[in-house]
Amino acid sequence: MEKLRLYGFNNLTKTLSFNIYDVCYADTEEDKKGYIEYIDERYNSDRLTDILKDVTDMIGATVLNVAKQDYDPQGASVTMLIAEPPHVVGHLDKSHMTVHTYPESHPDQGVTTFRMDIEVSTCGEISPLSALNYLINAFDGDIIICDYRVRGFTRDMNGRKHFMDHRIESIQDYISEENLKLYKGIDTNFYQENVFHTKLIVRERPLDDYLFALDEKDLAPDLKKKIQDKLDCEMKEIFYGRNFEQHKY
């Protein structure tokens, strides 16, 4: 492999991390298994690799190496080493992207939750924020928890340190209006540390969208309410990061 030439190195490292959750109601053990198999196939390592390659194009990088793996009984992982294109003189650096999947289910409440962890880390001028909306749309999660952090510093020609090379007040500044209409968001930012944290939860949750192998019109009103309460509780607990008493049905 041709050796990468580095000159005028930009030492800032920008990392965008996601926890994306998809919540579903699967009534029987067979349905739970069916949902996990469906998710496992939908987000297998080949599709995840294609998504990360699209992200690479969006942030203007090139793929150096790909490692991917599907797991038994379920789950997949992809790690990709990327670099800025050689024609970007003065800012050439290795970076990486990773994605891991974690399907799981509640032992007795019928609630099944699929979690995906994604990290896009870049050095130099390129920023993973340019792929933010693509990733939100690609995975269509019910809950999205984002972290963005800029580490290190770079120097100008006079030797002055720069700890940030772009303006940002919130991750939500980089989310499209269309996506902000779909999600409710809250921020916890530490500006002095260049750490930004945003949590998103889908605004509209029609029951039919969360039923696996069931149809809302076939359910009695009291059962529909019970299922909706379970789903709402699961999402609230994930979004706020704590358990609620209403979890006990």
Catalytic: which of 24, 123, 146, 233? 123
Q: How far apart are alpha carbons 52 and 243 in whole angstroms?
A: 33
Q: How far apart are alpha carbons 69 and 99 in whole angstroms?
A: 11
Q: How far apart are alpha carbons 128 and 146 in whole angstroms?
A: 12
Q: How far apart are alpha carbons 186 and 101 in whole angstroms?
A: 24
Phi-psi region for residue 176, left (φ > 0), alpha (ψ -120 to 50) or beta? beta
Q: Is 247 a catalytic residue?
A: no
Catalytic: which of 24, 45, 95, 96? 95
The enclosing H or E element of 222 equals helix 221-240
Cα 184 to Cα 68, 164, 181, 200, distances in angstroms: 33, 28, 8, 5
Q: Is 91 a catalytic residue?
A: no
CB 78 within 8 A of CB 49: yes
**73's tokens:** 């009984």
Catalytic: which of 17, 77, 91, 100? 100
Listed residue (195, 188, 198) closest to 13, CA to CA: 195
Beta partners for residue 240, in sequence order: none
CB 170 within 8 A of CB 194: no
Please identify every residue annotated as catalytic: 95, 100, 123
